[in-house]
Amino acid sequence: MSDRVQEILARSAREFYGNPSSAHADGARARAALETARAQIADFLQVATSQIVFTSGATEANNLVLHGVAEHFSTKAKRSGVHFVTTRAEHPSVLAPIAHLEAQGFLVTQIGVNENGCIDFAEFEAALRPETKLVTLLWANNETGVVQDLPKIAALVRARGILLHVDAVQAAGKFDLKLEQWPWDFLSFSGHKLGAPTGIGCLVIRAGVELLPQLRGGTQERRRRAGTENLLGAIGFGAACERLRQEQEVETRIWYALRESLWQSIHTQICDVRRNGLSHETLSNTLSVTFLGVDGSVLLEALDLEGVSASSGSACSSGSSEPSHVLRAMGRSVEEARATLRFSLGPGVDVKQIAQVGEILPKLVMRIRNSMLCHQVVLPVVSHG
C-alpha cells in the first residue's frame, strides 16, 4: 500500500464514522466519500459509476455473477437447459461455484488451455451452444500471469448473444484494459491487488444486464448487494486507483524489465528450469518457474527464511498439498507442478532486491536438489530395512 493510500485511510478513519445510508450529516459525509471513491474507480476503469457494485472482494463478485445469473433458473428442468462455459485453469472462486452449479443440474463445459496456458479458439468456439447462457473467464491467470485475448473472445461470445463474465483481478493495474472498446457484461476486481486494503472489491455490471442479488436485506448498491458498505475499504480502493492512473504505465514497464532480469539470472545459473507462459503473453509482474527435481514447498520455505515471499499455487490454495490445477491444465506432470514457484513483483521491488533473489536462488536450489538426491539413495534402504 502506498504511503499516500495509508495517509488517506488514516485520515478517513478519523473523519468518516457515519453510515453511508444514514440520513444525518455524518451519514451524508460518509455517502459523499463513498461516491467519490466510486467515481475514482470508475474513472480508472473507464466505466460508469452506476455500473459499480462494491463487494468484499473478487471471490464475492465471482460468486455474485455465477449464482446471480443461475438463480433465474429455479427448477431442475430449467437448469438442465442452461449451459455455462469456462476453462480448467480458472481461479478457485470461479471453479468452486461452477462445480456447485453443476451439482445442482446446470450444464457446464470446462475447456482446456494449451502448454503456454492460452485458450484454443477452435475448442472455445466448439464449446458454445444455443443453450449457453454465460461464459466466465480469467483475463490474466493468477498463478502464471498468462493473459488471454479477451477482446477477441468477447466478440465471439457477444455475436451469439451469450453473457460474458471476466475475472479481471490480475489484469487490472497491469495494462490499459480499454473497457470501452469491447463487449463485456460482468467484470470482477479485487482492491488489494491494486494497492487498496484487503476486504474490498467490486463487480462491474454492464447497464441493462439483469442480475439477482445474492445478499438480501438492504437497498445498498442499487439493491444489487445488501449490507453496509466497507467505507474505508472503498476509500482505499479509490485512492489506489487514483495512484494507478498516474503510475501504472511506468510501474509496469519497470516490473517487466526486473522480471526479465530475474528470469535471465535464473536460467543462466540454474539447470533444468522451465518458464511457464511466454514472456510476451504474461503479465509484466509475474514469473512462474519450474525447478525440476525440487520440492516447491521446500524451496518456498527456504526463500521465506531468506526474507523472500514467493508463492506456489494461488494464495487461496497455498498450504494445500494439491498440485496446481492451472499447471496440470497446461499439461505439466504432478512432479512439475509441485516443483513450480511464482514470483510476483509489486510496487517498491527494486534492482537490488531482484539481484539478491538471483543470488540466493541457485544456492537454495542446489542445496535442495542435493538433499533430495541423498534421500533418494538413503530412503529405500531405510524403509526396506
- 316 catalytic residue (yes or no): yes
Q: Are 197 and 1 in contact (CB under 8 A)?
A: yes
CB 236 within 8 A of CB 16: no
E strands of the chain, at which residues? Answer: 52-55, 83-87, 107-111, 132-138, 163-167, 186-190, 201-205, 273-275, 286-291, 340-344
Q: 211 vs 302, which CB is nearer to ligand PLP? A: 211
State which residue, 201 or 213, has the beta carbon closest to ligand PLP. 201
Contact, 3 vs 241, CB < 8 A? no
Which amino acid is located at 95 in the chain?
Answer: L
**Contacts of 260-264 spanning 24+ positions with Cβ under 8 A:** 261/351, 261/354, 261/358, 262/287, 262/343, 262/354, 262/357, 262/358, 263/287, 263/289
Q: Give me the least distance between CB of 54 and ligand PLP, in Å please.
A: 12
Extract the C-alpha cell encoding 343: 514470483
Cell numbers for 205? 455490471
The nearer residue to ligand PLP, 51 or 314, going by C-beta atoms, is 314
Sign of CA dihedral 341, 345, 351, 356: negative
Choice between 31 and 284, CB closer to ligand PLP:
284
Catalytic residue among 241, 271, 316, 374: 316
Question: Which residue of the chain is nearest ligand PLP when measured via CB?
Answer: 57
The least CB distance from residue 252 to ligand PLP, in Å, is: 17
CA nearest to 313, candidates 303, 304, 300, 302:
300
Nearest-approach distance from CB 314 to ligand PLP, in angstroms: 6
DSSP 96-114: HHHHHHHHTT-EEEEE-B-
Least distance from ligand PLP to the Cβ atom of residue 134, Å: 17
Distances (CA, A) of 135 to 85, 106, 130: 5, 13, 13
- Provide, rounded to whole angstroms, the least separation between the CB of residue 168 and ligand PLP: 8
- In terms of CB distance, is 53 or 138 closer to ligand PLP? 138
Residues 6+ apart with CB under 8 A from 300: 310, 311, 312, 341
Q: What is the DSSP letter of 360?
A: H
Query: For strand 273-275 and strand 107-111, is the pairing parallel, antiparallel, or unpaired?
Result: unpaired
Q: Are 197 and 9 in contact (CB under 8 A)?
A: yes
Under the rule (CB under 6 A), what is the footprint of ligand PLP? 57-59, 91, 93, 138, 142, 167, 169-170, 190, 201, 314-315
Catalytic residue positions, numbered: 316
